[in-house]
Structure 1
């Protein structure tokens, strides 16, 4: 069996196709040399701030209301570990494996920008977990959504620390420490700011959005196929899908759907067979002639969601 080429993760965000490939088909990942260098450089900045007498949020201070509290050097590892543990408090059914893998890839991509201040080995641990098929157990309830997927991300960080539960490559529920050991991955011991960097983001809902948009595109193409078949079955006309008529409305999704319907019906013997027949029908049913308008609105909604996903 041929070895699949890995997805090289760097400062550029992965494309939706790349997210789907890693999340669903297990395409391996590796960090680019440039990404590793950028992370190492930004880590030096964090380490210099850690030695600064001035307070720096999440480095030498607590979080939120405790931002005014100075954290002694000998307790900063405990602070980051406690931050992850305290936020790994999701509940309910498990989130699908593909969503968690998408989440981890997107967080890895953010780490690879070099803007979070984590050590390269933190990102390498996430890449190793993805490649080993180790999927942290993340629960459906507990996220803040647009304000941050703190709980889902914390469960992933907890697993990278060797704590909590994961699903191994075969889907078995095992202790995270056991799974990491079996894969030869050293559990992370988080340093200053790293716990904060691993849980402060919206990668959970972004991963779900990317996968949903990918599936919706396939559904919308299928809807056009169903509409084209309906036109044929009901002896309808394709004249209403003409490009000049569709151009009268400034809706990109409608134009795309109409173009797809024209392509699907092009050369249809059924449509041609009754095109010249006398008929008393003035126009087709609304469900046929306005299919591009309905499908187009859905397309425009998906396009907006994809634009937000970036």
Structure 2
């Protein structure tokens, strides 16, 4: 894929490469501006944080060494590679002041399967300093890369100068990478959820009346209307069995549509920042502009809203699963069992509720926190890093809830007009359903 600093999407971040790079003009212009300035420039001729007023000469490499201090397990190679793709694209957008000769080397790392050994903990949504400092030390040869297959060893090198140090690490590329991976994965699951719901609608003979155009023209939320149209197209026209169905069916378009609206907003916000110059200072024109573009409040707030929206749609999936256990809705034996008194698919409700509980825990907002650090000079944080990390963790429990519904709906449909299945373990069924849902 071509990186141009302007058009990177969440889906492309998830693809991970290979990459090619477009024009270096904007990166080159910012670098020349950074080289030409003689006055005090944060992180170039001064220290950072509370040391902003202290003159420092050639302190950049020490800055990298001091900031490469994360903790916890290494993030996956996929997440580290996504971070490299995001940072490379941001540098192409211009404004950083980094030597543009670095950019082809970063592309070489992505295409060669090299990733830095980035630790999980070390950022609070105001810049992924530990992750990028670790990457910089790999480029300098002071730390080993993880090569293809995960083995440590030498990789692409670039002699970063002192002046390249802060410009390279002053960004939220790791947080944005996690956010992009989460948004892309959640889009896949949320779209699959409509297909799963269609199977449940058919299995219990739920009415399609709540999906009628007149209903959604009367309340024109975009996501609601689009979900209704898509689901309606998956159902065959049959006479309704009941006047009104439970909310898992009757309010599906409203609840799932609201979650899709949240997903759309989160995707827009993340993709703005994937292609933005979030540098401090920002080298533009003939000046260095000291600013707060590094603060990821928009990303944190959008991801908080998205995670909250996942819970109601998963709750309705669990509610539909409950109806699939009920003879009054399916016309089959309780729990879709093969014979009276057997447990059938009963365990699916336990599994779904366990995963749903995890999803509820992950829905807690991150943006409500704050931090005062660096002797009080940095007096707020977005915690977008934690919001993105939690969004990534939502993929598994949401997938499991939907898989439980899918397995039950398939079982109900397969038992129509035939003998029920004998009791057996359902873990393989769930594994297969999860693979289908995640694409």
Whether the aligned pair in 2 keeps the contact of 1:58 and 1:192 (CA below 8 Å) is no
CA distance in 1, matches of 2:161, 2:193: 51
Match of 1:29 in 2: 19
**Which structure 2 residue ranges, 5 or more long, are not aligned?**
273-439
CA distance in 2, matches of 1:305, 1:30: 26
Match of 1:119 in 2: 99
Cα deviations by residue, 1:134-188 (Å, 9 ceiling, x for unpaired): 011111111122x11111222222212222243211222x1xxx421xxxx3x22
Q: 1:162 aligns with which of 125, 141, 154?
A: 141
CA distance in 2, matches of 1:292, 1:40: 49
Q: 1:43 aligns with which of 31, 34, 48?
A: 31
Q: Please state how far the C-alpha of 1:68 moved relative to its aligned partner.
A: 2.3
CA distance in 1, matches of 2:189, 2:30: 43
Q: Please state how far the C-alpha of 1:307 moved relative to its aligned partner.
A: 2.2
CA distance in 2, matches of 1:41, 1:230: 57
What count of residue pairs does the alignment treat as equivalent? 271
Match of 1:86 in 2: 66
Q: 1:59 aligns with which of 21, 44, 60?
A: 44
Q: Please state how far the C-alpha of 1:125 moved relative to its aligned partner.
A: 1.8
Match of 2:116 in 1: 136
**Which structure 1 residue ranges, 5 or more long, are not aligned?**
1-6
Q: When the two structures are superposed, what TM-score results if normalisation uses the length of structure 1? A: 0.82
- Residue correspondence of structure 1 range 1-310 to structure 2 within 5 A: 7-22=1-16, 27-32=17-22, 34-35=23-24, 37-49=25-37, 52=38, 54-72=39-57, 76=58, 79-145=59-125, 147-172=126-151, 174=152, 178-180=153-155, 185=156, 187-265=157-235, 268=236, 271-272=237-238, 275=239, 281-309=242-270, 310=272
Whether the aligned pair in 2 keeps the contact of 1:95 and 1:139 (CA below 8 Å) is yes
CA distance in 2, matches of 1:283, 1:90: 55
SS, match of residue 93 in structure 1: strand
CA distance in 2, matches of 1:256, 1:151: 42
Distance 1:63 1:287, change over 3 A: same
CA distance in 2, matches of 1:188, 1:67: 27
SS, match of residue 137 in structure 1: coil
Q: When the two structures are superposed, what TM-score results if normalisation uses the length of structure 2? A: 0.59
What is the RMSD of the two structures over their aligned residues, measured on CA atoms? 1.8
Q: Please state how far the C-alpha of 1:192 moved relative to its aligned partner.
A: 4.1
Match of 1:3 in 2: none
